[in-house]
Amino acid sequence: MAERKVMERNDELIQKQYVYIDKVKEITAETVNIEGRQPTYEVRVFGCQMNELESEQLSGMLDAMGYTKAAPGEPADVIVFDTCCVRENAEEKIYGHLGLLKPAPGDKKSIVAITGCMMQQPHVVEKIKKSYHHVGIVFGTHNLYTFPELLYKHLTQKKRIFDVWDSEGQIVEGTPITRAEKVKAWVHIMQGCNNFCSYCIVPYVRGRERSRKKEDIISEVKRLAGTGYKEITLLGQNVNSYGNDLGRKDAFADLLYALNEIDGIKRIRFTTSHPKDLSDSLITAMKELPKLCEHLHLPFQSGSTRILKEMNRKYTKEQYLELIDRVREAVPGISFTTDIIVGFPGETEADFSDTLDVVRKVRFDQAFTFLYSKRTGTKAAEFENQVPEDVKKERFQRLIEVQNSIGAEINKTYEGKTVEVLVEGKSRNNDAMYTGRTRNYKLVNFTSSEDVTGKLVQVKIVKAWPFWLEGMVVPEGETS
Please give the residue ranges that form the binding site for ligand SF4 (CB under 6 A).
193, 195-197, 200, 202-203, 237-238, 274
Judge contact between 112 and 79, C-beta under 8 A: yes
Name which of 128 and 340 has its Cβ closer to ligand SF4: 340
Backbone φ and ψ of 62, nearest 5°: -65, -40
Least distance between ligand SF4 and beta carbon 277 (Å): 9
Name which of 148 and 275 has its Cβ closer to ligand SF4: 275
Name which of 196 and 368 has its Cβ closer to ligand SF4: 196
Name which of 237 and 411 has its Cβ closer to ligand SF4: 237
Name which of 116 and 203 has its Cβ closer to ligand SF4: 203
Cα maximum dimension of the chain: 69
Least distance between ligand SF4 and beta carbon 206 (Å): 8
Q: Apex CA 319: angle with CA 316 and CA 323, to 5°?
A: 140
Name which of 340 and 457 has its Cβ closer to ligand SF4: 340
Least distance between ligand SF4 and beta carbon 313 (Å): 7
How does DSSP classify residue 370? E
Name which of 269 and 313 has its Cβ closer to ligand SF4: 313
255 CB-near residues (< 8 Å, 6+ apart):
189, 214, 217, 234, 242, 243
Least distance between ligand SF4 and beta carbon 46 (Å): 16
Burial of 476 (0-12, 13-18, 19+ CB in 10 A): exposed
* Alpha helices (H) in 88-194, listed in sequence order: 88-100, 122-131, 147-157
Measured between its terminal Cα atoms, the distance across the chain in Å is: 59
Least distance between ligand SF4 and beta carbon 245 (Å): 14
List the one residue out of 120, 177, 112, 110 whose CA is nearest residue 143: 120
Name which of 161 and 202 has its Cβ closer to ligand SF4: 202
Q: Apex CA 279: angle with CA 368 and CA 336, to 5°?
A: 25
Sequence-separated contacts (24+) of 430-438 with Cβ below 8 Å: 434/473
- Provide DSSP, 137-166: EEE-STTGGGHHHHHHHHHHH-S-EEE--S
Least distance between ligand SF4 and beta carbon 458 (Å): 37
C-alpha–C-alpha distance, residues 429 and 11, integer Å: 43
Least distance between ligand SF4 and beta carbon 372 (Å): 12
Least distance between ligand SF4 and beta carbon 90 (Å): 14
| Integer angstrom CA distances of residue 92 from 27, 84, 370 | 34, 10, 16
Name which of 378 and 411 has its Cβ closer to ligand SF4: 378
Judge contact between 273 and 239, C-beta under 8 A: yes
Least distance between ligand SF4 and beta carbon 254 (Å): 21
